[in-house]
Homo-oligomer: A and B are copies of this chain.
Amino acid sequence: MVQIPNQQPAQRSVPTSADVARLAGVSRATVSYVLNNASAVRISEPTRRRVHDAARELGYVPHAAARSLRAGHSRMVLMPTSEIPMGPLFGRFFNELQWALSRLDYTVVQYASLGMTGEDAARAWAELRPVAVLAPDASALGPRGVTVLKRSGAKAVFTLGPQRVEGAHALLMDGRRVGEAAALHLLARGRRRIGAIVPTEPGLEIFSRPRVEGLRRAVGTAHITGASVTELPLAHTEESAAALAARWRSLGLEAVFAYNDEYAMLVMRALQDEGIAIPEEAAVIGSDDLMLGRLLRPRLSTVRIELPSGRGLAELVDRVVRDPGAGPEVHDVLAADVVHRESS
């Protein structure tokens, strides 16, 4: 650790608009008019300049809290972050959304409320008085949480994940679509007895459950004799995958749907190391269409997921903020289709 001598003297206190007014020799009102380009009043050019100069000299920055307190509302969009890291797919969507919202002049803020759940978390969020809340995890919110947020003045409450919650708008990302697409593909290719990898990592079940459920449902409604789904818990480790591969033949399965491409890679490698031929002895399909799937040999079949454009959602949020009267809307936004390569 390197110590660098402190060069700045004792902090002057933080400059306020009153300081700017004093230095410029005008009233605080005038400062406000000038700095906000108030169109209702005309301020003379010399005064404008004096105010701007004073503000620059003092390094004045307006106080967002004071401003929104006075205004009675803010343009803050709160996006609670969940602990589970999002993949590249969701990450890109998030970034796009954020960018689009800031284009619409919203201040997007991510707030991690680690450890809390439901109403507690909602209360913590509500203290910030956001104009909109976009929550990725509906279950960690609940109808009570939605009520708390709305009571605190939030005009729009959206959930973004695989679940919805009463009272909130929903961008429903129905993971069952993914499982269904995988099931139809595998069945069409003559596979009957299908294994479903279920990650044991905590937090992931919110995403994995619907996928398996969709797989189950599609296999069930296909009415093909002998068709079945077997859940295979798997940790994100080589050992776990090796253990699964070791008992693969005893399971009597013909195919495996692997939650996502990373788990698919893990499983495929373990099966190959066990001498099991892919896709002959075991068809493998993943999900999310990651780059790595194309680099595997055989190339990995996968379910490609399509999320809506962040811009569209940003406009939707804006619309709801401006007209909160309408009831909650549910948008079904996840599309899934199979990219067939060599592993299935």
A115 within 8 A of B: yes
Across-interface contacts of A266 in B (CB, < 8 A): 291, 295
Task: Give the residues in chain B near A99, CB-CB below 8 Å.
Answer: 112, 114-115
**A interface list, Cβ under 8 A from B:** 1-8, 11-12, 14-15, 59, 61-66, 68-69, 74, 81, 83, 85, 88, 91-92, 95, 98-99, 102, 107-115, 123, 126-129, 147-148, 150-153, 167, 236, 238, 262, 265-266, 269, 291-292, 294-295, 324-332
Residues in B whose Cβ lies below 8 Å from that of A92: 85
A8 vs B129: C-alpha distance when bound (angstroms): 20
A262 and B238 within 8 A (CB): no
Are B112 and A111 neighbours in the complex by a CB distance under 8 Å? no
Q: Which residues of B contact A128 (CB under 8 A)?
A: 64-65
Which of B102, B114, B238 interacts with A294 by CB under 8 Å? B238
Beta-carbon nearest neighbor of A241 in chain B: B295
How many protomers of this protein does the assembly include? 2
Closest partner residue, chain B, to A107 (CB atom) = B111
Residues in chain B near residue A12, CB distance under 8 A: 151
Provide the bound-state CA to CA distance between A327 and B126, in Å.
37
Q: 25 interchain pairs (CB within 8 A)?
A: A3-B326, A3-B329, A6-B326, A6-B327, A8-B167, A14-B151, A59-B148, A59-B151, A61-B123, A61-B152, A64-B127, A64-B128, A64-B129, A65-B65, A65-B74, A66-B69, A99-B112, A108-B111, A108-B112, A110-B111, A110-B112, A236-B291, A238-B295, A262-B291, A292-B292
Q: With A11-B150, A110-B110, A236-B291 given, can you name 17 additional A-B contacts, CB distance below 8 Å?
A: A1-B329, A2-B329, A2-B330, A3-B329, A6-B326, A8-B167, A12-B151, A61-B127, A62-B127, A85-B88, A102-B112, A102-B113, A110-B111, A110-B112, A238-B291, A238-B294, A265-B292
Q: How far is the CA of A112 from the CA of B111 in the complex (A)?
A: 12
Judging by beta carbons under 8 Å apart, are B63 and A69 in contact?
Answer: yes
Sorted from nearest, which 10 A-B pairs have the closest CB atoms?
A6-B327, A65-B65, A110-B110, A64-B127, A59-B151, A269-B295, A61-B126, A2-B330, A14-B153, A4-B327
